[in-house]
Amino acid sequence: MHVPDGFIDAPVSAVTGVAAAGAVAVSLRGARRELGGTSRSSAAESGGELTAPLAGLVAAFIFAVQMLNFPVAAGTSGHLLGGALAAILVGPHTGILCVSVVLLMQGILFADGGLTALGVNITDMAIVTTVVAYAVFRGLVKVLPRTRRSVTAASFVAALLSVPAAALAFTLLYAIGGTTDIALGKVATAMVGVHVLIGVGEAAITALTVGAVIAVRPDLVYGARGLQQKLKLRVNGELVDVPEAEPAPVAARSHRKLWITGLVTSLVLAGVVSFYASSNPDGLEKVAADKGIDKKAEEHANADSPLADYGVKDIEDARLSGGLAGVIGVGVTVVAGSTVFWAVRRRRTNDTSPAGTGV
């Protein structure tokens, strides 16, 4: 659903750019809490320390899976948006930053998503999907049984709804600043219709990934924090909470193993599996071509980039060119993402230190 330059006019693109910048600024502040724990307790801080390195990996994984377009209807494909997955794994604020990093790398290096439309894409694919998905997810886990299966099921529903929500958000932006005169009803029907189908794929990928992580390291799933039911004892005829025990220390090797496994998986998906992805246009591209939204589409400013269109320039072998571009993309994204989240985590540590608090 990467919006190219020319679909949305300059004024609306500028406004969404400002809105996206504001949301990213707010997310940087919120991510300090998510990456540093929700309180100053040792348990919360431990969770934050483990979440910080995971966030960069989540960004790289989203980049890799977005290369895997899957067929959803005749002549149409879809790909992961990632907002739901990121929000559930590392928190909503950190999730917005994860997807924003991916969109920035795609726009600059791979000419995917217009540069003047970067604000539109961050608003649509990072902010809307993350906010909608996490709101649905939190609502569901509050009413479902407090189990790991419930977290996985809630992840599925949240991801499913986040994709048509993004389609509706694009339709709204198009209604305000579309550069072509197309009946809004036709755009909305086509966008929502195809993206409901894409949402099924998004939901499956999100649920499988969250389920896999929660099966081996539930402490690393932000959305699963605090779901354990407290034990109660009857004392003098009244039920009282059993004091929580200190969490057992987790071996650094276990965390490192998961991180390496995730990185290798991302590299294989982007470097090898992506060759077999569907070549059909994605939902937005198909709707734009069918309805005439793309009549005033502009060539990407970085169309001559060495990595444009997810291939390495001057390498004629398509498999090698695409695979190498995918590996480079994963590497750049994990480095950029990890740098951002390391800096956020470090700022949080400084803010809560005795010197930072004036204690």
Along the 359 residues of the chain, how does pLDDT read in single tens digits? Answer: 899 999 999 999 999 999 999 999 999 999 988 887 543 344 444 444 556 678 999 999 999 999 999 999 889 999 999 999 999 999 999 999 999 999 999 999 999 999 999 999 999 999 999 999 999 999 999 999 989 999 999 999 999 999 999 999 999 999 999 999 999 999 999 999 999 999 999 999 999 999 999 998 888 899 988 765 554 455 666 655 545 545 545 545 567 888 899 999 999 999 999 999 999 999 999 999 999 999 999 999 999 999 999 999 999 999 999 999 999 999 999 999 999 998 888 776 566 555 544 43
What pLDDT shows up at residue 51? Answer: 65
CA-CA distance, 103 to 122, in Å (whole number)? 7
Triad 82, 83, 86: Cα angle to 5°: 80
| Distance from the Cα of residue 133 to its chain's centroid | 10
Torsion of CA 169, 171, 173, 174, to 10 degrees: 160
What pLDDT shows up at residue 49? Answer: 54
The CA–CA distances, whole Å, from 217 to 36, 138, 173, 222, 346 equal 18, 20, 39, 11, 24
Q: Options 2.60.40.1220, 3.30.460.80, 1.10.240.10, 1.10.1760.20; which CATH number does 10-357 get? A: 1.10.1760.20
What pLDDT shows up at residue 231? Answer: 46
Please check whether residue 254 is in contact with residue 52, taking contact to mean a CB–CB distance below 8 angstroms.
no
CA-CA distance, 93 to 106, in Å (whole number)? 20
What pLDDT shows up at residue 96? Answer: 98
What pLDDT shows up at residue 153? Answer: 97
